[in-house]
Structure 1
Amino acid sequence: MFYWMLLVLAIIFEVTGTLSMKWSALSGSASGFYIMLFMIGCSYLSLSIAIKKIALGVAYAMWEGVGIILISLFSLWLFDESLSAGKLFGLALLILGIALIKIGTRSADPEKEEVMQ
């Protein structure tokens, strides 16, 4: 459970960093870029610890996929960006892809594999 919480933190850090980059670009303030650097660094650190127990493909797919979904939704709300039918379809495919990767990933833990068989 601890490693899944780290993955959630990595996603939150990534989303926060990316949104602060956009905010900084729009406002002209350099502080957003420093926040972005810190948050992205924290995101990679959290992700690197999370993949000790979570399959890399699953962790990366969730980190990027959930991050993209959240960034798209927050961009819609915070920056008045549009969400076209094509973007919605792409986000739906992204969710489906993440689910399929999670379902299709076998456990790296031999004890878990024995229980599953």
Structure 2
Amino acid sequence: MDANAGTMKPWLLLALAIVSEVIATTALKASDGLTRWQPSLVVVVGYGVSFYCLSLVLRHIPVGITYAVWSGLGIVLITLAAAVLYGQRIDLAGWVGIGLIVAGVLVLNLVSRATSH
């Protein structure tokens, strides 16, 4: 087994948490106030998977880093999903803000000493 496999597992779980949260949040709009059962089921399962994965990630990655990555990348992906699926328009200020969020996540992970790697 690769030596990096043990350190990659929390990051893969975090990626799964982010993707499942993005799916759940996207379905939340489609659920029409939780009045449509199929998208509502996706919401409940998606958030359940996301929070379960987050709980496992927190065993290995500090909570501040975990939450920064989860929420930052989640914001970016949800914004992009909303643009594609719901026609939400993103103006220049929005793109600048998304760029700053991505830059912040990169700084936390590549430069900061607060990370666990």
Q: What is the TM-score with the length of structure 2 in the denominator?
A: 0.83
1:104 partner SS: coil
Q: What code does the residue aligned with 2:14 have?
A: L
Determine if contact 1:57/1:101 at 8 Å carries over to the other structure.
no
Whether 1:11 and 2:11 are equivalent positions in the alignment is no
Partner of 1:104: 112
Q: What code does the residue aligned with 2:12 have?
A: M
Structure with bigger helix share is 1
1:8-32 per-residue CA deviation (whole Å, 9 max, x = no partner) reads: 0000110000011112229x62321
1:26-47 per-residue CA deviation (whole Å, 9 max, x = no partner) reads: 9x62321221011111101101
Structure 1: stretches of 5+ with no match in the other structure: 113-117
Q: What is the TM-score with the length of structure 1 in the denominator?
A: 0.83
The correspondence for 1:21, drawn from 6, 15, 28, is: 28
Determine if contact 1:24/1:30 at 8 Å carries over to the other structure.
yes
Moved more, 86-95 or 97-106: 97-106
1:106 partner SS: coil
Structure 2: stretches of 5+ with no match in the other structure: 1-7
The correspondence for 1:73, drawn from 80, 85, 89, is: 80
> Within 1, Cα distance between the matches of 2:114 and 2:70?
19
TM superposition shift of 1:51: 1.4
2:32 partner SS: helix
Whether 1:39 and 2:46 are equivalent positions in the alignment is yes
Of structures 1 and 2, the larger Rg is shown by 1
Percent identical pairs in the alignment equals: 29
Q: What code does the residue aligned with 2:112 have?
A: G
Determine if contact 2:14/2:66 at 8 Å carries over to the other structure.
yes
Q: What code does the residue aligned with 2:113 have?
A: T
1:23-82 per-residue CA deviation (whole Å, 9 max, x = no partner) reads: 2229x6232122101111110110110111112221111111111111111111111110
